[in-house]
Amino acid sequence: MKNQILLFLILTTVFSISSQEKKKAFKSGESLRYKMSYSGFLRAGTAVLEITEKDFNGKKVFYTKGSGWTSGMIKWFFKVDDVYESYFEKETVKPYQFRRKIDEGGYKKHRITTFNYNSNQAYVQDFIKQKDTSVAILNVQDMMSSFYYLRNQDVKEFKKGDEIAIDMFMDSQIYPFKLRFLGREVLKTKFGKVNSLIFRPLVQSGRVFKAQESVTIWITDDANKIPIKMKADLSVGSLRADLESYKGLANDFAKK
């Protein structure tokens, strides 16, 4: 299970999509906490996503931080301590800077990516390899800003099988993602019965995921559009994330 908990969360929650045109899906002060489970019963760890308003180069922006760590028995043989950060424009959610610092069982990455829209270049500083790289970009989102960008998109006219695409910048490369709408479901959760939208990202199979369509996510069918449940079939076992707690939502959390 060579896969950090937060990466799974981001790769799946990045596909949450809004069906509301006028309401913002998030605001400063929102915090989402997830319980991660391995193979359905073994607690694997915790992931937290938070967003606040900050100054970046003299401009008011949104700053988001994602943290993930292993716990319990999983931590004994595979310790994870990951932090992801992003600074992005408040209205367009255009990323200005992305920071990634992870330690997964001794596998480490520490990178800072700065996006320059005058030159259409992403400048990547790799502090582990002591190497800097410039990559040409056009319309991209980083791993964290993608989550918030897609929550504000309109898919209220989506029908089963419809797809939406986004380009995400990760590890000095641009990855195209396609999201497929599967339908709607009333989901039983610790918060009660919740109307949800179901999506399946088309991910690359191989090192982590079992197949191209191995990830399924359930999104609250309200103005917040937060992931409430996620499941992925891995090369060995499965990984599940369930919303454990929340605060600071921009809109009412609609429960049946």
Task: Quick: pLDDT tens for 31-66.
Answer: 999 999 987 678 889 999 999 999 999 999 999 999
| Dihedral angle sign, alpha carbons of residues 84, 199, 40, 34 | positive
3-class DSSP state of 190:
coil
Q: Are 155 and 29 contacting, i.e. CB atoms less than 8 angstroms apart?
A: no
Tokens of 250: 């921009």
Confidence of residue 74 (pLDDT cuts 50, 70, 90): confident
Confidence of residue 22 (pLDDT cuts 50, 70, 90): low
Q: How far is CA 236 from the centre of its chain?
A: 22
Of 170 and 249, more confident: 249
* pLDDT digits 0-9 by tens, 103-152: 988 889 999 999 999 999 999 999 999 999 999 999 999 999 999 988 88
Buried/exposed code over 17-53 (b: 16+ C-beta within 10 A; e: otherwise): bbbbeeebbbeeebebebbbbbeeeeebbbbbbbbee
Q: Which of 221, 228, 222 is nearest to 243 (CA)?
A: 228
In the chain, the domains with their CATH numbers are 5-246 (2.40.360)
Measured CA to CA in angstroms, residue 169 lies from 56, 123, 159, 204 at distances of 20, 11, 28, 15
Of 149 and 208, more confident: 149
Measured CA to CA in angstroms, residue 167 lies from 128, 147, 192 at distances of 25, 12, 35
Residue 247, CB-side half-sphere exposure with 13 Å CA sphere = 4
